[in-house]
A and B are shown apart, each in its own frame.
Chain A
Amino acid sequence: MNDGAPPDLQTLGITKRFGPLTALKDVNFRLRSCRFHALLGENGAGKSTLVKCIMGYYHPDEGTISLDQQQVTIRSPRDAQAFGIGMVYQQFTLIPNMTVLENLVISKAKLTPIINWQKEEHQLTQFMEKMPFKVPLTARVGSLAAGEKQKVEILKQLALQNRILILDEPTSVLTPQEADEMLGHLRAMTLGRQLSVLIITHKLREVAAFADDVTVLRKGRFVGSGKVSELKITQMAEMMVGSEVTAKPKQRNERLSKVPKLVLQNIRVKNDIGVEVVRGVHLTIHEGEIVGVAGVSGNGQHELVEVLAGQRQATAGTIHVHDQPYQPTREKIMRHKIFCLPEEPLQNTCVGRMTVAENLAFRNFDVEPHAVGGWLMSRPALCRSARGLIERYNIKPPYPEIPIQSLSGGNVQRAVLARELSADVEILIIANPCFGLDFLAMEEIRLQIVAARNRGTAVLLVSEDLDEILELSDRTVVMFNGRLVYETASPGADLAVIGRHMTGHAT
């Protein structure tokens, strides 16, 4: 490759079929050198398939890929790496029990038989100093929050000196400030003629703010392409979904009651390595209210949710539900109907190898009609209930007897939502519910959450997406450094003030 600018990447007539399904049909696409290019489309539009073809994961049935007008064959991600193309995936590819330094070093294409750790650390420290965002090299990746892991993924690609960087929804786990900062730096690097960036995203705001060019796919076909400066956001959205999108205003009832449902007092929690990350949280959530917890990831939200979900023990503090002391035992969970939608549902709240029907029954397998007499499992009853939920929540494919791990991410999320919402939930704990979901699935899930609120459910919504919090919640609190540092009514909230509190620059 030439030593100056990154090469021009072009695909011509790419077609990819999976059995009877045509995932991509005759797609032409061009990532010009040193441009920031956004690839838009709904889930199933073929964005991921297209970049996987470029990365050599899939081999297109027809069509060619060329770099600087020279046709190339990319058989594997290793080939792609040799051409200087790197990708940041939606799912993390880091090794959790190794440090950031170790992860960065082992990802190098060529490793010497004996690793000179001092030298590597020195080099990577220098490299890190030039980078727009920093992650401590000695931190164990498993102890990092999602947002920080994502940063390490990006740093990894940059450390490999890839010239074309493909990012699959990189900002879904970042705060707006973090996202803007990161995208800003990536953009600066494209302007500095160091990098070409191809970003898959659903966030039109980011496209409008940072991308030079945009390409839209729909149902596996190329719909349009153009300069962002010449397109309106509504036009792009229209290209994506095929018609004018009208952001549905979330229909909410006036809140009538002021009954406190969930009261947290002075909750303190330690993380896996014994550091106190939740440092005295006080919070009351009322009937029919959504309280959004905003914050940069890694400020204790993750651990707070784990405590409420029963996955971690608080070191101090009390939880009261319906004015009674609460511990997350099955009996109390069922009595108070306090349910949970955690992030990464497949890892957090499903058993992958058990069937969809079984997973749907985790909340109520031990009551009639699933448990005859309270002890004898009835498979037919399990399947019947599952069929009902599958139909109501549109889970695909609609088979109750397949392992839940064979479902796509969005469908796993739908299944968990179906399970947690179906039993007249009174208190709902939600963390990043729309992480990695497409436009329509996201909208559907948000509507369900608001509908639950309108039925009187008290909702604690922890999200790293501030737009989501402001769209859904009645009240917004900001979590910083293990404490709730700011509270405001969500309608009319001042973004600048929230942002300052999120970053700890309130005073």
Chain B
Amino acid sequence: MSIALPQTLNKALEPFLIIVGSLTVSMVLFGAFVASAGADPFEVYQTMYRAAFGTSFSWQNTLIRAAPLMLTALCTALPGYLGLIVIGGEGAVVIGGLFAAIAALAMPSAAPMVVLLTMALAGMIAGGMWLMIPGLLRHYRAVNETISSLLLNYIAIALLNHLVTSTFRDPESLNHPSTHHIGEANMIGLIPGTDLHWGLVFGIVACVIAWFLMHHTVFGFASQIAGGNVRAAQIAGLPVGRLVLIICFVAGAAGGLAGMVEVAAVHGRANDTLNANYGYAGILVAFVARNNPLTIIPVAVLLGGIRASSGLLQRAHELPDATVLVMQGIIFLVILFSETLYGRFSRLQKQGVS
């Protein structure tokens, strides 16, 4: 037993140190970048902090941005348990939002609660089926799921653009082709006492459920076997194909729910604002969180904060709009690189044994 405690401690310590280390390195690199753009990095970081977490207003702004990231991160994190790298969150958001809007428009006289539930179901089913496609292609035809899910993003966006400019177009949306508005009565309200909509609760609840599913249920255990060694899963008689499809569906459903929230809480209609890169940012969140659904929550808040600071950075330091995307990109690269560091720190390894 004496060996068990330091080992588990160590197991948690290594990723923690590596992730904190890579975030620090990213900050240094980004600091150098803003310095080269003529701003003082320390002031920039101060501004970012203020803009993201300084006041209750900035907190709310951050959390609103974090909410969809929690859901889209699950699009990558859940298939990760099976060893799949799915980057189709963007497509799932778009398809989920589109079908949620269509569902709402199909039932003009229903009670708002019914409409919202139907929208959520429609968005989740549509997003889930959408991400099942890479799962199907992967399991039955051995098509690389990373490539197919990426390409499906573009198909989803094209499909959205096609439908909002033709069948479902609101004639009054002249410059910005959109569907009709789902109706103010059908919008998701705010969490009482805040300016936050319920999307944040959906995100947190979805992450907790996903974590529980993967770590405390028979289904999650079977998925971990299949993800760790397909041959072992086959000998155990596990239905690997079914696991792949279910996981991809659940992952896509999370993305679809994010799309539904965007429509029902923010825009009121489906249009190209659905395609706001939440899906791609979600990949980053999942990578930083090492696919752990619980870790996704704080990481999404952190990234939401970075994104929330964009406007103030522009105004206070005259940095271009895309600056926060540069930071996001730097973090992504550094995190990817840090994957090569696991198991390299002999001191950490030895602590575990002695």
- Residues of B near A309 (CB, < 8 A) are 234-235
B189 to chain A, nearest CB (A): 34
A385 at the interface (CB under 8 A from B): no
B84 to chain A, nearest CB (A): 16
When the two chains form their complex, are residues A351 and B217 in contact, meaning their CB atoms are under 8 A apart? no
Complex CA gap A349/B235 in Å reads 7
The answer to whether A329 and B3 have CB atoms under 8 Å apart is no
Asked if A348 and B231 make an inter-chain contact with CB atoms under 8 angstroms apart, the answer reads: yes
| Chain B interface size, under 10 / 10 to 19 / 20 to 34 / 35 or more | 20 to 34
Q: A309-B235, A330-B236, A332-B237 are in contact. Are A371 and B229 (CB under 8 A)?
A: no
When C-beta atoms are compared, the residue in chain A nearest to B238 turns out to be: A330
Contact in complex: B228, A352 (CB < 8 Å): yes
Determine the distance from Cα of A6 to Cα of B239 in the docked complex, in whole angstroms: 56
Is there an interface contact between B216 and A377, defined as CB atoms closer than 8 Å? yes
Instruction: Look across to chain A and name the residue whose beta carbon is closest to the beta carbon of B216.
Output: A377
Distance to closest chain A CB from B312 (angstroms) = 43
A352 / chain B contacts, CB cutoff of 8 Å: 228-229
CA of A401 to CA of B9, assembled, Å: 12
- B206-250 with Cβ < 8 A to chain A: 215-222, 224-225, 228-229, 231-232, 234-239
| Chief secondary structure at chain B's binding surface | helix
Determine if B236 and A376 form an interchain contact, defined as CB atoms under 8 angstroms apart. no
Expressed in whole angstroms, the minimum distance between the Cβ of B305 and any Cβ of chain A is 33
List the A side residues contacting B3 at CB < 8 Å.
397, 399, 402
* Shortest distance between the CB of A201 and any CB in chain B (Å): 29
Asked if B217 and A362 sit within 8 Å, CB to CB, the answer is no
User: Which residue of the partner chain B has the closest CB to A363?
Assistant: B236
Q: B36 interface residue, CB < 8 Å from A?
A: no
Complex: A95 Cα to B242 Cα, angstroms: 32
Which of chain B's residues have a CB closer than 8 A to the CB of A361?
221
B236 in contact with A377 (CB, 8 Å): no
Min CB–CB distance B208 → chain A (angstroms): 15
Given contacts A377-B220, A401-B7, contact A354 B225 (CB under 8 A): yes
| B232–A350 touching, CB < 8 Å | yes
Complex partner residue of B232 from A331, A334, A349, CB under 8 angstroms: A349
Please indicate the chain B residues that have their CB under 8 angstroms from the CB of A366 in the complex.
Answer: 218, 221-222
Most chain B Cβ neighbours within 10 Å, of A310, A328, A351, A402: A351
Cα–Cα distance between A113 and B228 once the two chains are bound (Å): 38
Is B167 on the interface with A (CB-CB < 8 A)?
no
A127 at interface by CB-CB < 8 Å: no
Residue A340 at the chain B interface, CB threshold 8 Å = yes
Q: Is A375 an interface residue (CB 8 A)?
A: yes
Chain A 339-350, CB-CB to B under 8 Å as 1, else 0, gives 010100001111
In the complex, are the beta carbons of B239 and A375 less than 8 A apart?
no
- Per-residue CB contact flags for chain B residues 1-40 toward chain A (1 = under 8 Å, else 0) read 1011001100000000000000000000000000000000
Smallest CB separation, B311 vs chain A (Å): 43
A310 touching B234, Cβ below 8 Å = yes
Given the known A-B contacts A376-B217, A401-B8, are A351 and B235 also in contact in the complex, defined by CB atoms under 8 Å?
A: no
Asked if A222 is at the interface of the complex by the 8 Å CB criterion, the answer is: no
B236 touches A362 (CB 8 A): yes
Known: A310-B234, A333-B237. A353 touches B220 (CB 8 A): no
Nearest CB of B to A418, in Å = 15
The verdict on A235 contacting chain B, using a C-beta distance below 8 Å, is: no
Q: Is the CB of B216 within 8 A of A376?
A: yes
Residue of B218, B225, B237, B239 touching A351 (CB-CB under 8 A):
B225
Q: Can you report 13 A-B residue pairs in the complex whose CB atoms are below 8 A from each other?
A: A330-B236, A330-B237, A333-B236, A333-B237, A334-B237, A349-B231, A358-B224, A362-B225, A365-B221, A366-B222, A371-B218, A376-B217, A377-B218
Task: Point out residues on A near B: beta carbons under 8 Å.
Answer: 309-311, 328-334, 340, 342, 347-354, 358, 361-363, 365-366, 371, 374-377, 397, 399, 401-402
Across chains A and B, which 8 residue pairs bring their CB atoms closest together, nearest first? Answer: A351-B228, A330-B237, A333-B237, A366-B218, A311-B234, A362-B236, A351-B229, A310-B234
